[in-house]
Amino acid sequence: MPESFYPAASFGHIYKDPLRFEGDIFECEVKGSIPAELKGAYYRAGPDRELPSLEDDIIINGDGVVSMFRFEDGHVSFRNRYVKTERLLRERAARKRLYGRYRNKYTDDPSTAGTDRDNTANTYAFFHGGRLFALREDSHPHEIDPNTLETRPKWNFGGKLRSSSMTAHPKIDPVTGEWWSYGMFAFGEPTADMMLHVIDRHGELIRQEAFKTPYPGLSHDFAVTREHVIFPIMPLTADIDRIKAGGPFYAYDTELASAWGIMPRNGSVEDIRWFHLPHMMVGHIMNAYSENNVVHVDATVSPGNAFWFFPKKDGSENTREEAVTTISRLSFDLNRNDEDGYTVTPFAGAKGEMPRFDERYAMSKYRVGYFAYRDFPRMGIGQLDWETGDIKYHVIEDAAAQEPIFVPRGPDAPEGDGFVLSVVNRMKENRADLLILDGNDVSREPIASVRLPFNQPIAFHGCFAAADQIPGWSDGLAGS
């Protein structure tokens, strides 16, 4: 008998039903005019369960879906495809759900023993060295064809990758072209083992270093500057005994402080120095830079567990207030001791998530940042200026914006001179738009709006790749 579908607990204390489809639109409806400078593809990745979900499922347990908005000569086409992971293909063959709770193999159907059960490829569509990847932080990347979105084999750098995981929040150095990464729970089990990775501009793995963190906690994002590498560990902790008993993979430990490991970029993991910041959780980082012996990290900070669907360690639930995130600057003074060597400065009015910026300024001092503005009931896209303290909003009615990304008008354009792209879910109409906003001032009316006649699942993170970076671009939207 077919199983039922249940909505999954998502961020913001809401629940989402799966959409469960793959589709193509060769020529999208556009209101306004697509800027001539936009030529390339906007890739996105997120979770959407294809086969029946658990009654108490969570959004991050969904199957990976990669989507693409293809821009060419003022026209836009759309495509989305499930990532054909081992997990998805096995469930399709069985025509039912085989895998249980998030990252808990002890809740699976026995037939799945020894399979790649966690690699859903559902977090970041990431482009590097002419290759498109779908990333998930506990797994190896899946390569994706950048034109068809069909799934290619998993990528482990020719067998060189020693850890079982790579972060879903890689950093590209705009100067060297290097891909900086790390793997938490690096050897498969939820332990304090972590590993640093560096990949050169050609896609060759050139550096791997293993180290221990203070405790086995969440490390969803990290930061790199021109001089330092920063590893944040959050008190959302994993416990093997709890997992074996069928419990949640993570639980929030209110007695632990977040831990921040900082090492010289030209040093080694043996040089990591740990700072401990209490009463906070950080999920995402906008950017970071070093100023002499002070390391600045701009991040979304909440006073409690922003991943509210994981309970506290004592079993109690998280409140909405504990999960509210504000973009803040964390400054670490390496000349001072660990106990008082930091400050946390919230940016007034910058409530929200999914921070991005002009990534030509990655790892260096910068001014402008963008984020999904979430100060319910006011929702939209925010823009902040770290030098002036100014903030602007593009407020949308009866809708919610997903991650905004920035595309520069050209390689030599000033910082922030370009376009902000964000998918917006229109709840009352049960469909979605892609908004194209002015990167200099997102509060202005959209330059263009790409109308989709159907809704879109949440996509966590994505990127824009210029047409001249994408192999096979001239073949067009394959299959159309």
Residue 406 burial by Cβ neighbours in a 10 Å radius (0-12, 13-18, 19+): buried
Contact 300, 374 (CB under 8 A): no
124 lies in some domain: no
DSSP 240: H
DSSP 204: -
**Residue of 223, 195, 227 lying closest to 334 (CA atoms):** 227
Q: In 214-326, where does DSSP find H-type helix? A: 240-244, 320-323
31 lies in some domain: no
Contact 403, 43 (CB under 8 A): no
Strands 405-408 and 8-10: unpaired
Mean pLDDT in runs of 10 for the chain (480 residues)? 82 88 95 97 97 90 97 96 97 95 95 95 97 97 97 96 97 98 96 98 97 98 98 97 94 96 97 96 97 97 95 90 96 90 97 98 98 94 98 95 97 97 94 97 98 94 97 71
pLDDT of 479 reads 47
Residue 241 in tokens: 């005994």
Range of the domain at 355: 169-366
312 lies in some domain: yes
Residue 31 in tokens: 């209101």
Alpha-carbon separation of residue 179 from 13, 140, 198, 445 (angstroms): 34, 15, 6, 35
Question: Which phi and psi angles does 188 have, rounded to 5°?
Answer: 105, -40
What is the spatial distance between Cα 287 and Cα 181, in angstroms, rounded to a whole number?
15
**Residue of 115, 29, 43 lying closest to 450 (CA atoms):** 29
Number of compact structural domains in the chain = 1
Strand partners, 434: 423, 450
DSSP string, 114-160: TS--S----SEEEEETTEEEEE-TTBPPEEE-TTT--EEEE--TTTT
Amino acid identity for residue 198 in this structure? V
204 lies in some domain: yes
140 lies in some domain: no
pLDDT of 355 reads 98
pLDDT of 478 reads 53
pLDDT of 340 reads 84
Strand partners, 289: 296
28 lies in some domain: no
CB atoms within 10 A of CB 153: 8
Chain position carrying tokens 């034109």: 147
Residue 274 in tokens: 């740990």
- Reported pTM: 0.96
